[in-house]
Amino acid sequence: MPEPIPVGSVAPDFVLRDQNNQEVALTALREKGPVLAVFFPLAFTGTCEGELGYIRDHLPQFDGDRLSTVAISVGAPPTHKVWSSSQGFLFPILSDFWPHGRVAADYGVFDDVRGIPNRGTFLIGSDGAVLFSAMVGPGEARTVDTWDAALGAIPEL
């Protein structure tokens, strides 16, 4: 199984398209503060819906003055558009479609046998440093403890 990039690493930069086909750049998000990058395998799957549903249901913790959250998978923007609309996901769902899984590979969470990312969770500071890093493998779900630990790594203002 791949190894996620560790805490203290410089987060690889990326520019990906969201569910509305708009470019989203990590550097631009970091200008507003820390960024939580949440890699997930595929849209329209129960575990992924549950995990991103947790973010949706607790959105003030995940998106506001202190934090921006993006979810990243290998699905195409039109697929993410339909899925995010049906699920009420208001945060960016980014497409790592082409080159296929490049950003997930840069973060050490791409499963090149299955062609999808593992569930990687990274808190990236405004300076680009990785402040939190965790990954669970295929068939495993992130727990509330993972979300709490990631949010707990946000620097105090």
Indicate whether 3 belongs to any domain: no
Does residue 2 register a pLDDT over 90?
no
pLDDT at 115 over 90: yes
Both ends of the chain: CA-CA distance in Å?
A: 36
DSSP type of residue 40: -
pLDDT, position 157: 55
pLDDT higher than 80, residue 46: no
2 within some domain: no
Question: Is 40 a member of any domain?
Answer: yes
Selecting among 36, 48, 70, 74, the annotated active-site residue is 48
Mean pLDDT, range 74-100, rounded to an integer: 96
| Cis-peptide, bond into residue 99, ω within 30° of zero | yes
Q: Which residue has the higher pLDDT, 76 or 137?
A: 76
Is pLDDT above 90 for 133?
yes
3-state helix, strand, coil split of the chain in percent (to 5) is 30, 25, 45
pLDDT over 90 at 1, yes or no: no
Q: What is the CATH number of the domain that holds 77?
A: 3.40.30.10
Tell me, yes or no, whether 51 lies in a domain: yes
Q: What is the mean pLDDT of residues 122-147?
A: 94
Domain range for 43: 15-136
Whether the per-residue pLDDT at 48 is higher than 70: the answer is: yes
47 vs 65: CA distance, rounded Å: 28
Asked if 128 is an active-site residue, the reply is no
Is residue 87 within 8 Å of 53, Cβ to Cβ? yes
Q: What are phi and psi of 112, to 5 degrees?
A: -75, -5
Q: Is residue 156 part of a domain?
A: no
Does residue 65 surpass a pLDDT of 90? Answer: no
1 within domain boundaries: no
Is residue 141 situated within a structural domain?
no
Confidence check: pLDDT of 134 > 70: yes
Q: 9 in a domain, yes or no?
A: no
- Do the strands 116-117 and 110-111 form a parallel or antiparallel pair, or are they unpaired? antiparallel
Mean pLDDT of the chain: 94
Phi and psi at residue 147, in whole multiples of 5°?
Answer: -60, -45
- List, in order, residues 6 or more apart from 111 with CB less than 8 Å away: 1, 2, 117, 118, 138
Number of domains making up the chain: 1
Give the rounded percent of residues in the chain with a pLDDT score beyond 70: 99
Average pLDDT over residues 109-118: 95
